[in-house]
């Protein structure tokens, strides 16, 4: 499984989520991309992309919870 984060979104919002997932799940590829072409979303809230689907949340902590549910299903 691969989870992609936008580098600018990491800088703005999702750094805690990125770091937590990267350290917690060795079997999941947590990647940082330069741009995921979701600029409008990137400026407003934490998000990541899993299997081509956008996963968004109000806070980094909520984003981690949503992503962990997806990880648990796989």
Give the mean pLDDT of 45-71: 98
- Summarize pLDDT for 4-17 with one digit per residue, the tens: 999 999 999 999 99
Q: What pLDDT score was predicted for residue 10?
A: 98
**Domain spans of the chain?**
2-73
Q: Where are the alpha helices (DSSP H) in 1-74?
A: 7-9, 15-24, 39-42, 60-73
CA dist., res. 63 & res. 48, Å (int) = 8
For the entire predicted model, the pTM comes to 0.94
Count of CA atoms in the C-beta half-sphere (13 A) of 72: 6
Instruction: Answer whether residue 74 shows pLDDT above 90.
Output: no
Question: Which tens digits make up the pLDDT trace of 15-57?
Answer: 999 999 999 999 999 999 999 999 999 999 999 999 999 999 9
Q: Are strands 47-50 and 29-33 parallel, antiparallel or unpaired?
A: unpaired
């Amino acid at each position: 499984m691969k989870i992609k984060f936008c580098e600018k979104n990491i800088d703005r919002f999702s750094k805690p989520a990125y770091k937590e997932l990267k350290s917690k799940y060795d079997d999941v590829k947590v990647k940082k991309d330069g741009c995921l072409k979701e600029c409008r979303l990137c400026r407003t809230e934490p998000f990541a992309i899993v299997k081509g689907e956008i996963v968004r949340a109000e806070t980094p902590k909520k984003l981690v919870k949503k992503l962990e549910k997806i990880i648990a299903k796989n």
